[in-house]
Amino acid sequence: MKNKRLIYKSISVLMLTGMSFGAVSCNDSNLEDVKNTGTFDTDNYFKNEEQSFSGLIAVYDMLRKYSGGFENEVTFFNAASDDFYSGGGSSTDGAGIQGFSNYTINAVIMPPSYWKDYYQGIAKANLLLERIPNADMDDQKRKRFIAEAKVLRSLYYFELVRIFGNIPMILKPIQFNDDYYNIKQEDPKVIYNQIETDILASINDLPVSIPSGNKAETGRITQGSARAILGKIYLYDKKNALAAEQLQMVNGIPGQANQYGYQLVQNFADLWKVSNKFTTESILEVMHTNTGNSVWDFWGQGKDEGNSINVMLGIISYGRNTNIPNNDAPSIYSGWGFNPVTDDLFNFMQNDPRLDATIFNAKKLKAENKIVYSPGYKDSGYFLNKYLPRTSDVTTGGGNAELNFQQNYIAIRLADTYLMEAEALGGSGARAQVLLDAVRSRVGLSSIPATLQAVKDERRRELAGEGHRWFDLVRWGDAPAKLATRGFKSGKNEVLPIPFNELTNTALKQNPGY
């Protein structure tokens, strides 16, 4: 007989009603300024607008999985693509990322946080959605909070389904006396239909956009970001016509400002300036700040805080040679050496105006005796420049310097949605052509005929290192050919193994091949 008292599984534990929320002030604040108030009895919470907003912020908090905390999604999925190696200090530096990079990953070394963190976000959304109807608050704000929670829950389910494929779908809080052992996985089509329906039903209750300079609202879901998320989900669900429809509303006339205020920034390199947050190109952005004074204390416990991309990509033991007159090498904070760029990507981007903003050529600077550094595992001499930590960006406040870099992560930006729409259109036709041209002309490249391959190539150059390439290859069906030398096996590695501890004493079934 299964011991149902063993509740050390994330679906059961995280979806019980007692959870931790962040309390925030609505005045002169934004979603960055979150303080953890600890665990409390939710039966006595969600009584008013302030408490409901605190609960909503807790739902937003799981966006940090893209770029922060233990095993951020960007560096992890970069490592398994053809554009980057795992890197790090050695071949054993991070079993999960090493195993994914060479496709020896299994259920034991699969980082559990991808399963746990997104289900934690879903649990928080479910609790808010259950309790907020009875809160004492303005009805219009109530509808907006509900819409935001549903879009975020849909986004977290999307991440789970494209990472694991076969997952449970839970739309209400699980009580202590529920039969959580028998929660079963749903057909991915059921998941997709649910989250698409939820976003569609939510759009009209969201603001069209957030006014520029409105700090209290910055980073919240709008009609534009919801449509972008929905268009992306449709694309992965192979509903290309619906994807193109939603993305066209987001994109408007390519190269011009649209109804949601989105517009490509003039200078591609400006996207990676730490101070350049929430540009007109940003559609969904994950905020990072040093005001939280993040520390290591809770890492690996589902409460990870802080930007971890920067320190992971930082070059090991990096230093500038001060004996070289007029040394123009940048001052970079020494990090952990993950995600060195492959020669394949470096060669692919030759003569592209985005090369220098994307790839830092340490090999050249070292040969010129301008810098020194310690080669890490799979060192190529090339590093992802978009997120390299500069010493000028090191926090002067409290907490651990490694966890308090302030560079935001743009999860969805306009150039991305241009190219997704062009892909949904099959890479052909007048509309696809102007979308492709807009991305290229921004960096001074001339027009080339629109084809599906041209769109794929443009995504690789434009979005290099932003965490999209592996998912693109899988979506296109190109992963078996492109990643064969890494060990990718068709019919298995399109999804990842469900972490071992999630399977024990549950009805969940492991993905095929693991």
pLDDT number for residue 4: 32
The per-residue DSSP string of 415-465 comes to: HHHHHHHHHHTTT-SHHHHHHHHHHHHHTTPPP----HHHHHHHHHHHTTT
- What is the per-residue burial (b if ≥16 Cβ within 10 Å, else e) of 257-295? ebebebebbeebbebbebebbbbbbbbbbbbbbbebebe
Task: Domains for the chain: give ranges and CATH numbers.
Answer: 222-271+408-476 (1.25.40.390), 309-404 (no CATH)
pLDDT number for residue 28: 34
Is 98 within 8 Å of 88 (Cβ atoms)? Answer: yes
pLDDT number for residue 469: 98
450-485 pLDDT, tens per residue?
999 999 999 999 999 999 999 999 999 999 999 999
389-423 pLDDT, tens per residue?
999 999 988 888 998 999 999 999 999 999 999 99
Residue 277: DSSP 8-state: -
As a whole number of angstroms, the distance between CA 269 and CA 386 comes to: 8
At 224, the pLDDT band (50, 70, 90 cuts) reads very high
pLDDT number for residue 41: 62
What percent of the chain clears pLDDT 90, i.e. is strictly above it? 80
Of 215-219, 251-255, 336-340, least confident by mean pLDDT is 215-219
83-92 pLDDT, tens per residue?
999 999 999 9
Q: Is 16 helix (H, G, I), strand (E, B) or coil?
A: coil
- The residue behind tokens 């970079």 is 332
Q: Is the per-residue pLDDT at 53 higher than 50?
A: yes
Instruction: Specify the pTM.
Output: 0.92
Please provide residue 411's backbone torsions phi and psi, each rounded to the nearest 5 degrees.
Answer: -75, -35
pLDDT number for residue 94: 95
Of 37-41, 124-128, 203-207, 477-481, least confident by mean pLDDT is 37-41
183-201 pLDDT, tens per residue?
899 999 999 999 999 999 9
pLDDT number for residue 23: 32
pLDDT number for residue 24: 32
pLDDT number for residue 17: 35
The per-residue DSSP string of 386-412 comes to: GGPPBGGGS-SSSS-GGG-----EEEE
266-295 pLDDT, tens per residue?
999 999 999 999 999 999 999 998 888 888
As a whole number of angstroms, the distance between CA 328 and CA 200 comes to: 51
Please provide residue 258's backbone torsions phi and psi, each rounded to the nearest 5 degrees.
Answer: -120, -170
Q: Where are the beta strands (DSSP E) in 354-397?
A: 359-361, 371-372, 382-384
Cα separations (Å) of 167 from 16, 18, 119, 164?
18, 23, 10, 7
Tokens of 372: 């020194």
Q: Is the per-residue pLDDT at 349 higher than 90?
A: yes
Mean pLDDT value of segment 91-110: 97
Give me the chain's average pLDDT, please.
Answer: 91
- The residue behind tokens 């931790």 is 20
At 297, the pLDDT band (50, 70, 90 cuts) reads confident
Mean pLDDT value of segment 321-332: 95
Q: Helix 430-442 to helix 414-424 angle, to the nearest 10 degrees?
A: 150
Mean pLDDT value of segment 30-55: 69
Of residues 93 and 5, more confidently modeled = 93
